[in-house]
Amino acid sequence: MKIAVFAAAVVGVLAGPGVAEPGGRVTGTVTVTEPDGKTGDAVDVIVYVVGFTEPPTAEVTTVSQKGRKFVPDLVAITVNERVAFPNFDPFLHNVFSQSGARKFDLGSYPRGESKDKQFPQAGVVDVYCNIHPEMAATILVLPNRRHVRTDARGHFDIQGVPPGDWTVFAYARRATKPTSAKVTVKPNAETVVALELARGAEVVHLNKYGEKYHEQTTVYPNGH
């Protein structure tokens, strides 16, 4: 299962020294291959370093509900940070997750309302809407703040990494398996990494009751 496969990759080693400046940099590129074998856009890939812990920030990450989509559909946060799920659509959404790292159900709520959730445990949290099966997002709950999103060409630059021997991972939604590399980070030095990631098809999921989605529903107004 995807959640089980990626859980270890996200959690890593949850013990180690605190961040001490000056740190180093981990930079490089991620190459993404689509199911058809062609090179894909790497703009939605997140790269992160594991092997040490850091305290969270007070920042609240936002995953909006717009046009029957979660926007963005992949975010990375640090353990104990919060994620808000505002509804911008003119109909109800129901946000839930059955992931082992954080099971929750925010219930159904209309446009203009927002609910949030804290994530106290590292892991991969897949989020869905109980009304719209096409809506899917993933939250990476990471042990430290050393995570970034690549640009469209797959370039990344993680700064302030404490000196030491760590593991750097690249993650994308629909990834068929994790990709990683061991790195040795030195003070005020740059470590360059090249990673390759393969995407698969979207995984079919069940609703929050563990059942297949109904073709028609009247849970929300206007037949949406």
Candidates 117, 113, 124, 95; CA nearest to 4 is: 124
pLDDT for the residue numbered 6 = 54
Residue 218 scores a pLDDT above 90: no
Amino acid 44: pLDDT: 86
Average pLDDT over every residue of 7-20: 52
For residues 15 and 97, what is the distance between their CA atoms, to the nearest angstrom?
Answer: 27
The residue that leads in pLDDT, 182 or 6, is 182
Residue ranges of E strands in 3-92: 24-33, 39-40, 46-50, 60-62, 64-66, 69-71, 74-78, 82-86
pLDDT of residue 43: 80
Provide the whole-model pTM: 0.87
- Rounded average pLDDT over 191-200: 94
Per-residue pLDDT at 180: 96
Check residue 203 and give its pLDDT.
85
pLDDT digits (tens, 9 = 90+) for 147-195: 999 998 899 999 999 999 999 999 998 888 879 999 999 999 999 999 9
- Write out the two tokens for 136: 């899917």
What are the DSSP E strand ranges found in 100-163?
A: 104-109, 114-118, 123-129, 136-142, 147-149, 155-161
Among candidate residues 162, 150, 81, 157, the one with its CA nearest the CA of residue 122: 81
Tell the CATH topology of 2-223.
Answer: Immunoglobulin-like (2.60.40)
Using an 8 Å Cβ cutoff, are 65 and 89 in contact? yes
Structure tokens at 210: 């563990």
pLDDT for the residue 95? 98
Nearest to 14 by CA among 82, 57, 78: 78
Tell me the HSE value of 135 on the side-chain side, using a 13 A CA sphere: 26
Q: How confident is the model at residue 219 (pLDDT cuts 50, 70, 90)?
A: very low
Where along the chain do its domains lie?
2-223
Does residue 209 register a pLDDT over 70? yes
Percent of the chain with pLDDT over 70: 87
Q: pLDDT tens for residues 18-53? A: 445 589 999 999 999 988 889 888 888 999 999 999
Asked if omega into 22 is within 30° of 0 (cis), the reply is yes
Summarize pLDDT for 78-115 with one digit per residue, the tens. Answer: 999 999 999 999 999 999 999 999 999 999 999 999 99
Parallel, antiparallel, or unpaired for β 136-142 and 74-78?
Answer: parallel
**7 has pLDDT over 80:** no
* pLDDT the model gives residue 48: 98
Alpha-carbon distance 170 to 6, whole Å? 11
Give the per-residue pLDDT at 2: 52
